[in-house]
Homo-oligomer: A and B are copies of this chain.
Amino acid sequence: MKPRILEVRTKILKKNDELARAMRERFAEAGVFVVNVVSSPGAGKTELLTRLLADLGRDHKAVAVVGDLATEHDADRLAQSGCEARQILTGTMCHLEADMVEKAIEGWDLDAIDVLFIENVGNLVCPQGFDLGEDLRLLLFPVTEGEDKPLKYPTLINTCDAVAISKTDLAVAAEFDIETARANTERARPGVAMFETSAKTGAGADALAGYLRERVAAKRVAAIGEHETVG
């Protein structure tokens, strides 16, 4: 039985990879920078993302889609940033797949969009293998989870481009040692970009927004360059 399960799993992943690749091409042509935000449940993705949307939304067309098993709270919360947000309900599915994102962004004029944030389902394992066509995978690692999480759950962090240590306002109460956490993160994913953020106080959100702003600009320059070469 095991070989057959593996075969089916491989097929699901392959199908997802093919669609994600096609979406990445569409995003590149349209000049949309895409961020896949992953973490455990309750790590503060929605709250931090609302701040990032409001910040980038000042001079970019930024939008978001958000995946949850149930409830539509999070799209409403994200929309408080002033940016458009759509909910994806996954039912019992523990991660987002490329076809769910493709369906959720239907009808949006990608040429008019600069940044698309995808807030994944809260899960520190399963989103790992599912490419969503993103340019950047951002992992939130809240101080309330303890310093050891990058070592205990290496699978997802190993695929991330940036890590935001979140809820730093609770670091003292949670007796969280930021230096140990940074060292464990670096050990699990050498060279990964790291930020220390609190969505509650706003601390560090501007540094993360600045980093994203630079990445968005770099993609736009690359897209224009390619367009001129083609033209």
Residues of chain A touching chain B, judged by Cβ–Cβ distance below 8 Å, are 1, 4-5, 8, 11-12, 15, 40-42, 68-71, 73-74, 92, 94, 121-126, 128, 142, 144-146, 148-149, 151-155, 167, 169-170, 173-174
Q: Tell me how far the C-beta of A55 lies from the nearest C-beta in chain B, rounded to whole angstroms.
A: 22
Contact A124 to B173, CB < 8 A, known contacts A4-B8, A5-B8: no
CA distance A123 to B125 in the complex (A): 8
Contact B122 A153 (CB under 8 A): yes
Tell me the number of copies of this protein.
Answer: 2
Contact of A11 with B15 at beta-carbon distance under 8 Å, contacts A40-B42, A148-B71 already known: no
Residue numbers in B under 8 Å from A122 (CB-CB): 40, 124, 152-153
Beyond the given A4-B8, A42-B142, could you list 19 further A-B residue pairs with CB under 8 A, ordered by the A residue number?
A: A1-B15, A5-B8, A5-B12, A41-B124, A42-B145, A42-B146, A69-B153, A70-B151, A70-B152, A71-B152, A94-B94, A122-B124, A126-B126, A144-B170, A144-B174, A169-B173, A170-B170, A173-B173, A173-B174
The residues of B that contact A125 with a CB separation of less than 8 Å are 69, 92, 94, 121, 123, 126
| 12 contacts across the A-B interface (CB closer than 8 A) | A5-B8, A40-B122, A41-B149, A41-B153, A42-B146, A69-B153, A71-B152, A74-B152, A123-B124, A125-B126, A126-B126, A144-B174
A230 to chain B, nearest CB (A): 36
Residues of B within 8 A of A153 (CB): 41, 69-70, 122
Closest to A169 in B: B173
Known interface pairs A124-B41, A126-B94, A126-B126; A152-B69 also in contact (CB < 8 Å): yes
**In the bound complex, CA of A98 to CA of B120 (Å):** 28
- Chain B residues lying within 8 Å of A74, measured Cβ to Cβ, are 152
- Cβ contacts under 8 Å, A144 to chain B: 42, 142, 144, 167, 170, 174
CB distance from A200 to the nearest CB of B (A): 8
Expressed in whole angstroms, the Cα–Cα distance for A144 and B68 within the complex equals 18
Q: State whether A70 touches B154 (Cβ < 8 A).
A: yes
A73 vs B166: C-alpha distance in the bound complex, in angstroms? 23
A124 to B42, CA, bound (A): 11
